[in-house]
């Protein structure tokens, strides 16, 4: 992957991260998928920014390739969720690159899911931010810290390579949001999202991400 441009490296890395986070938090999660998801999240967090900055970082590229594979094993043994369900529809209707849609939607759907997944997202602060930050963060603040960490990753990737941080920046038109919300419900990944969503709830997430 050494010739992959920075923006595509960023987008595919965030797709792998989303695979892993959804595998860890969807209704079909299990100990096998959890183990692979944790490994993938740690590797993406530790290597993606560095590789986007320096595409010749071969060790980092190897770690990201391994992370992509581990995340694939994770969701193949569990499933994904609403981030993918909505993202697939954005790709079909607005032709947004899949990884970019994942990166944009990830923190917004995580916030929506918090009523059922706060303890799971709290767990993920460890592979995302490392042991020191995890240990210093109060247990009731770790889930929010995980989401903030991902938001900061998106901002940094935008600064480095111009990866969009909103649906508007990615080329989605505001008038497309209602159709995206309605058609997202037809995606099978929505069934295993930890919190049910109707079209109006999807639309609110889309507006937040716009």
Task: Kindly report, residue by residue over 69-81, the tens digit of the pLDDT.
Answer: 999 999 999 999 9
Whether 1 is in a domain gets the answer: no
- pLDDT for 25 equals 98
- pLDDT for 1 equals 85
- What's the domain count of the chain? 1
Residue with tokens 């391994």: 66
* Separation CA 75–CA 94 (nearest Å): 25
Kindly compute the dihedral angle of the four CA atoms of residues 46, 52, 57, 58, in this order, to the nearest 10 degrees. 80
CB within 8 Å of 70: residues ≥ 6 apart: 20, 36, 37, 39, 40, 43
Whether 20 is in a domain gets the answer: yes
- pLDDT for 23 equals 99
Instruction: Report yes or no on whether pTM surpasses 0.95.
Output: yes
Whether 42 is in a domain gets the answer: yes
For residue 154, give the CATH number of its domain.
Answer: 1.20.1090.10
How does pLDDT run across 84-120, given as a tens digit for each residue? 999 999 999 999 999 999 999 999 999 999 999 999 9
* Residues lower than pLDDT 50 in the chain: none
* Domain with 64 in it: 6-209
């Amino acid at each position: 992957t050494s010739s992959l441009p920075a923006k595509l490296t960023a987008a595919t890395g965030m797709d792998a991260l989303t695979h892993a986070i959804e595998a860890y938090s969807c209704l079909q999660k299990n100990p096998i998928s959890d183990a692979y998801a944790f490994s993938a999240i740690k590797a993406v967090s530790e290597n993606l920014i560095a590789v986007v900055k320096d595409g010749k970082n071969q060790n980092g590229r190897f770690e990201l390739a391994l992370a992509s594979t581990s995340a694939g094993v994770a969701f193949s043994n569990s499933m994904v969720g609403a981030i993918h369900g909505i993202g697939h529809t954005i790709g079909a209707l607005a032709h947004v690159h899949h990884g970019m849609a994942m990166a944009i939607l990830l923190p917004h759907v995580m916030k929506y899911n918090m009523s059922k997944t706060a303890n799971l997202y709290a767990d993920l602060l460890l592979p995302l931010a490392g042991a020191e930050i995890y240990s210093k963060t109060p247990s009731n603040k770790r889930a929010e810290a995980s989401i903030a960490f991902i938001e900061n990753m998106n901002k940094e990737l935008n600064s480095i390579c111009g990866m969009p941080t909103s649906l508007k920046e990615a080329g989605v038109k505001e008038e497309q949001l209602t159709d995206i919300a309605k058609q997202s419900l037809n995606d099978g990944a929505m069934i295993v999202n930890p919190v049910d969503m109707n079209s109006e709830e999807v639309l609110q997430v889309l507006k937040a991400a716009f």
